[in-house]
Amino acid sequence: MSSTTPVTRSTAPKPPPPAYPRRKKDQMTSLKDFAAARDAKRPILLTGGAVVTMDSSIPDLPEGDVLIEGDQILAVGANLRTDPRHSAKVAEAIVIDTRGAIVSPGFVDTHRHAWETQLRRSIPDVNDLGEYVMSTLAAIAPSYTPDDMHVGTRLAALTALDSGITTMLDFSHNSRTTAHSDAAAQALIDTGIRGVHASMGPHFGDWDRQWPADVDRMVSKFQGANDGLITVRLAALSTDEIAGPVLAYGHHLASVARDLGIATSIDAVFGESSSAAILEWAREGILDSTLTLIHSTGLTADAWSAMGDAGVTVSLAPTSDAQIGLETAIPAVDEALAVGIRPGLSIDVEVALASDMFTQMRALHAIQRMRATSTMYGTSEMLPRITTRDVLDFATLQGAVTNGLGDVTGSLTPGKAADLLIVRADDVNNMPLNDAVGTLVLGADARNIETVLVAGRARKWEGRLVDVDIDALRDSVVASRDGINARVDAL
């Protein structure tokens, strides 16, 4: 299969979709009963809904079952009640009726600057990268306290869960003190998301210069925390152009990551300077599969060839590239696919962009197909166009691979973590369900997400976040924002 071929493609006629009976509210399992069953170590059976696995070895099902035991997926099948391998477990399971819904893997965000979330849409029409850097990283970031780091990161993670993102990489580049770093990592723990804390020092302003030495302590304290939900990474910039050499990836940071046995996420990868840096890393032997390169817009063909040969992963930020205008402003999906890299997707900065993965999938799907069609317009050339399944793959399994968690999450595969969604397909914006993948990518949004499970634990239930006082959250977010603004104004 070529890298530009969709995950699956069939010309066979589809069977008629089932006529899903709508579930009655009084027949739905309560959160109290679900939690009690899980605490009693009873299996959990999701049954009756469409199942989208995102595992090429396990076909999607128009109606099917997903069996969970503890924090893992035990089995996926058309009717597990009749499967002798699992019938005993099914018999003791608590049953979750998913008729009229789609069961799918949770989305995976490969790069978000979560600490900024109190500043949401504060610069919605930002003109370019420089304006963002100076307004947010230079002018505002130095006024953040550790408590502000916790509030912003917690808000980002809760928003992610609410919109179906079960794994989020927080590129935490405001680590001014150890307390700032600890607050950001603790916020991931407090929300129950599968969180990746990628630690980097700040671009501007006073800070303790404890980074990157402090990453050793962060790994010791947080790697595997919250029953294995937390992962620690190193974060860096591709060159010294924005913030100087301390934050730029090179031999020193490569050795830090190597000695700690962790991966590295590299931001601001774009243009001629990053292309030259990538080729230099390849020559020096520090371009390898432990690296995730973020954005990757406007890179040279030689740089892409080196990336493909090295087996790096790539995080694309479709709305960030296009809206803020990073280099070519075109998400580099075609370039990635051409060298065998299937990218993950990223939210990036909520100061100017949307918070959810639905927006990223739709933006990338539309931009790539527009680009392919425009390029061949008036010619006989035929260029490949990505499919809805491709972008769902990028948003789930490939996101997990990009975050170094491909063996843990990203697909409904027995043995993987029970990080999954129940998405209502009988709501007004989705009915009637004709194609589950198409509905997830082009139809659904956060209001349709009925249930979010992370490692088998409910983080959203009946359309509401679990154990979150929204009024108290709002008060803390507003107080934090107002305090930041007051300190900035006082400078």
* CATH at 299: 3.20.20.140
pTM of the model: 0.94
Is pLDDT of 230 > 90?
A: yes
- Residue pair 174/149 in contact by the 8 Å Cβ criterion: yes
350 and 460 part of one domain: no
Do 139 and 262 lie in one domain? The reply is yes
Buried b (16+ CB within 10 A) or exposed e, 85-110: ebeebbeebbebbbbbbbbbbbbbbb
- Asked if residue 153 has pLDDT above 70, the reply is yes
For residue 473, tell me if it sits in a domain: no
**Percent composition of the chain: helix, strand, coil (DSSP 3-state, to 5):** 40, 20, 40
Span 220-249, mean pLDDT? 96
Residue 440 belongs to a domain with what CATH number?
2.30.40.10
pLDDT of residue 17: 56
Rg (CA), the chain: 22
pLDDT of residue 376: 87
What pLDDT shows up at residue 7? 47
The total of structural domains in the chain comes to 2
Q: 72: which 2 tokens?
A: 């893992």
Please state, as a whole number, how many other Cβ atoms lie within 10 Å of the Cβ of residue 176: 22
Q: Which domain does 427 fall in, by range?
A: 25-105+407-465
The pLDDT tens digits for 361-394 are 999 999 999 999 998 898 888 889 999 999 999 9
Q: What is the pLDDT of residue 26?
A: 56
Q: Among 97, 92, 98, which residue's Cα sits nearest to residue 69?
A: 92
485 inside domain? no
Q: Is the residue at 488 inside a domain? A: no
Q: Is residue 379 part of a domain?
A: yes
In this prediction, residues 339-347 reach a mean pLDDT of 98
- Look at residue 471 and tell me if it is in a domain: no
- Alpha-carbon distance of 345 to 161, in angstroms, equals 16
Percentage of residues of the chain with pLDDT beyond 90: 92
Asked if 283 and 334 sit in the same domain, the reply is: yes
Least confident of 8-12, 123-127, 212-216, 445-449: 8-12
Residues 417 and 394 in one domain: no
- Is residue 483 one of the residues assigned to a domain? no
In angstroms, the Cα distances linking 374 to 321, 379, 382, 386, 388 are 19, 10, 11, 14, 19
pLDDT, averaged across the chain:
94
Question: Rounded distance, CA 216 to CA 210, Å?
Answer: 11
Q: How far is CA 145 from CA 177, 207, 214, 475, in A?
A: 9, 12, 18, 17
Q: Do residue 182 and residue 86 come from a single domain?
A: no
- Please name the amino acid found at residue 453: L
